[in-house]
């Protein structure tokens, strides 16, 4: 399943966030598709595929002490439209 996470942090936590990024280890069951940083600061977006809820938890838990993570399950538009056409 695909997830889009939006992580936000306070400006005073910037150095700790950078340290976390340098030490980032992607757990088994997570495949990062792409990631972006808000150029105005304080936000990070990541699109990834997760094999299980346990993998999502293992990926996000190490960040929970310094940032707020909004995790949103997503689907590509074409796939969604195909799925929805079955319910018309």
pLDDT of 37: 94
pLDDT band at 61 (very low <50, low <70, confident <90, very high): very high
Residue holding tokens 């950078």?
18
- Assess if CATH 3.30.70.920 describes domain 2-85: yes
So what's the pLDDT on residue 87?
82
- Which helix (DSSP H) or strand (DSSP E) does residue 20 occupy? helix 14-22
pLDDT tens digits, 26-38: 999 999 999 999 9
Return the ∠ at Cα 16 (arms to 10 and 17), rounded to 5°.
70
Please say if the pLDDT value at position 13 is more than 90. Answer: yes
């Amino acid at each position: 399943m695909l997830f889009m996470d939006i992580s936000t942090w306070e400006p005073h936590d910037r150095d700790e966030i950078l340290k976390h990024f340098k030490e980032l280890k992607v757990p088994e069951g997570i495949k990062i598709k792409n990631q972006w940083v808000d150029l105005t600061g304080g936000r990070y977006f990541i699109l990834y595929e997760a094999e299980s809820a346990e993998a999502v938890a293992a990926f996000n838990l190490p960040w929970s002490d310094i940032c707020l993570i909004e995790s949103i399950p997503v689907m590509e538009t074409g796939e969604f439209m195909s799925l929805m056409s079955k319910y018309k």
